[in-house]
Structure 1
Amino acid sequence: MRILLTGAAGQLGRHLAPRLAALGDVIGTDREAGDFRCDLSDRRLLDKSLARVRPDLVVNPAAWTAVDRAEDHPEMALRINRDLPGWIGEWCATQDVPLVHFSTDYVFSGTRDEPWAEDDRPAPDSVYGRTKLEGERAIEASGARALIVRTAWLYSHFPGNFLSAILTRAGRGEPLTVVSDQVGSPTWAGHLADAVIELIRRHDDLGDGVQRFHVAGRGRYSWHAFAELAVARAAEAGVIDAPVAVEPIASARWPQKARRPAWSVLDCSRYERLVGRPLPSVGDGLDACLTNWKEDAAC
């Protein structure tokens, strides 16, 4: 099986690539890296790449994930988060090739006491959330056989995410100030990649059309609580020399252009019923990530 992996240089793409290799030949592409380079915002180049690779499966973690910058650049966010998955879906539909696509907890907003399920009504509050939801709808309109995997608060030991940012600062002995009134499910990219492999193995049994699954770390944390846990465990693991103070702050006092969901805990029971076991906890994901951090020293 030939597998085209977009966004191969991103944190999720870098976790997916070695796991997908167990299923077939992986051809990775990104703007500046991968087996070949491709500007995925250019449909002509994307179509040429698809015709060149002729994949049996397309896995698409490529996305515009700069949440605040999306408020200033909505057209580019739309092109990557809506148009790109729609274009891939159209090609997959004509070739009868399955597609795996990733979406986000940011399609939801509001406050509630229970996790969001796949069939709950989306109501995004940000350009990023709206464009990701429109990407889901573009895939549905394409007629492709697709898995859409929504996840939340993705982190890894690679640079460019919440965990790597706070632990880099903590490693320098700098105290942290972290938002305490946004609650979600932090998810290690490695566990998300493992879960996607399980879904791909079962894809033929899931039926036609679009199937949605929520996959996230088991548990619920505020950003502040997760930061406290991360700093403590990083010190225990020897990733940083010593814990630093982690002070809470309200969202209203933290300057951000885009509105974040106050509650974005995801209900992952559909996935867990399918595979017959619970997803790893947030703590287990954090420990696995810190092990990777020590081994790779990527940050």
Structure 2
Amino acid sequence: MDILLFGKNGQVGWELQRALAPLGNLIVVDRHSRDYCGDFENPEGVAETVRKIKPAVIVNATAYTAVDKAESEQDKARLVNATSIAALAEAAEEIGAWLIHYSTDYVFDGTGDRPWREDDATAPLNVYGQTKLEGEQAIVNNMSKYLIFRTSWVYAAKGNNFAKTMLKLAKDRDTLSVINDQFGAPTGAELIADSTAHAIRVALNDSSVAGLYHLIAAGETTWHAYATSVIDFAKQQGVELNVQVINPVPTSAFPTPARRPANSRLNTEKFQHTFGLTLPDWQKGVERMLLETLK
């Protein structure tokens, strides 16, 4: 079985290379690939790649994710997150392939204090969220065999992430100010990749599982509590940090071009029930990532 992976070098894409390898012949493509087009600014090229390879499964980990920059680059964000996804979905449907795609909690308006369910009304606050929603709709409207996984607060040991940034600042400063009125669950790229591989195995044997799911770690926190947890854990591991005070501040203390949702909680009951998995608490994944990072 051929599996085509777009976006091999991103946080989730990197972990997917490991997680998907045992499932079949994995073909990985990005925008710099020579043999096949993986540039999502070229919808026709992406579709042609699908038609040439004719994989049984396509996993797309490519996206325009510069949330603030998207406000001034709307056309580019829409091209990558929506137009190319529509072309990808149409090509995948032509050859009868499964398409696995990742979306975001930013499709919601971030109000309320309960976890969002898959069938809740969408109302994006920013261009990034709107274009990701359009990408979802392009798949739902053009395909029969698809899995869309909405995620949030994604991190990985590879590359930069919030925890690493906090630790770097904590070494140089004695006081930090971190937002305390946004709620979510930090979710490891490793968890997303492993869960995706399992879901693909299920889908290949039961096409009725096709649909939209929420996939994040269990529990919830704020950025402030997340930062505090990271710094406390690092200190327990013997890391010398300069920081003495971590001040909780509102979102308004850090104005950004794009509005952020206050409520990024996602209800994962549908995913866990359908695929028979138990999603672990966010702290377990973060601490594991920190142990790897702090070596």
TM-score for the superposition, normalised by structure 1: 0.91
TM-aligned CA distance change 1:114 to 1:243, over 3 Å: farther
Name the CA distance, whole Å, in 2 between partners of 1:246 and 1:190. 28
Name the CA distance, whole Å, in 1 between partners of 2:262 and 2:275. 30
- Report the CA distance between 1:68 and its aligned residue: 0.4
- Contact 2:183 2:223 (8 Å CA) reproduced: yes
- Contact 1:90 1:144 (8 Å CA) reproduced: no
| Structure 1 partner of 2:240 | 241
> Match for 1:99: what amino acid?
L
- Report the CA distance between 1:168 and its aligned residue: 3.1
Q: Secondary structure at the match of 1:102?
A: strand
Q: Secondary structure at the match of 2:123?
A: coil
The Cα offsets for residues 189-219 of structure 1, whole Å up to 9 and x where unpaired, read as 1111111112111113553595011111111
Identity of aligned residues (%): 36
Name the CA distance, whole Å, in 2 between partners of 1:158 and 1:108. 28
TM-score for the superposition, normalised by structure 2: 0.92
| Structure 1 partner of 2:218 | 218
| Structure 2 partner of 1:76 | 76
| Structure 2 partner of 1:49 | 49
Name the CA distance, whole Å, in 2 between partners of 1:276 and 1:287. 24
- Report the CA distance between 1:188 and its aligned residue: 1.0
Name the CA distance, whole Å, in 2 between partners of 1:119 and 1:37. 34
Name the CA distance, whole Å, in 1 between partners of 2:284 and 2:131. 31
The Cα offsets for residues 114-165 of structure 1, whole Å up to 9 and x where unpaired, read as 2111111111111111111110001112124100000111011222432332
- Contact 2:107 2:132 (8 Å CA) reproduced: yes
- Contact 1:159 1:165 (8 Å CA) reproduced: no
| Structure 2 partner of 1:265 | 265
TM-aligned CA distance change 1:32 to 1:160, over 3 Å: farther
Name the CA distance, whole Å, in 1 between partners of 2:214 and 2:273. 12
Q: Secondary structure at the match of 2:19?
A: helix
- Report the CA distance between 1:261 and its aligned residue: 0.6
> Match for 1:242: what amino acid?
L
Report 1:102-117 matches (<5 A). 102-117=102-117
| Structure 1 partner of 2:119 | 119
Q: Secondary structure at the match of 1:202?
A: helix
| Structure 2 partner of 1:153 | 153
Name the CA distance, whole Å, in 2 between partners of 1:25 and 1:128. 33
| Structure 2 partner of 1:62 | 62
- Report the CA distance between 1:288 and its aligned residue: 2.1
Report 1:222-233 matches (<5 A). 222-233=222-233
Name the CA distance, whole Å, in 2 between partners of 1:209 and 1:287. 32
Q: Secondary structure at the match of 2:149?
A: strand
- Report the CA distance between 1:290 and its aligned residue: 1.7
TM-aligned CA distance change 1:233 to 1:179, over 3 Å: same
The Cα offsets for residues 190-249 of structure 1, whole Å up to 9 and x where unpaired, read as 1111111121111135535950111111111111111111122233345x4337332222
Unmatched runs of 5 consecutive residues or more in structure 2: none
The Cα RMSD (Å) is: 2.1
Q: Secondary structure at the match of 1:178?
A: strand
| Structure 2 partner of 1:17 | 17
Aligned length: 294
| Structure 1 partner of 2:2 | 2
Unmatched runs of 5 consecutive residues or more in structure 1: none
- Report the CA distance between 1:36 and its aligned residue: 6.0
> Match for 2:15: what amino acid?
H
Report 1:130-209 matches (<5 A). 130-172=130-172, 175-207=175-207
Q: Secondary structure at the match of 1:274?
A: helix
- Contact 1:71 1:258 (8 Å CA) reproduced: yes
More displaced 10-residue stretch of structure 1: 212-221 or 242-251: 242-251
More displaced 10-residue stretch of structure 1: 164-173 or 14-23: 164-173
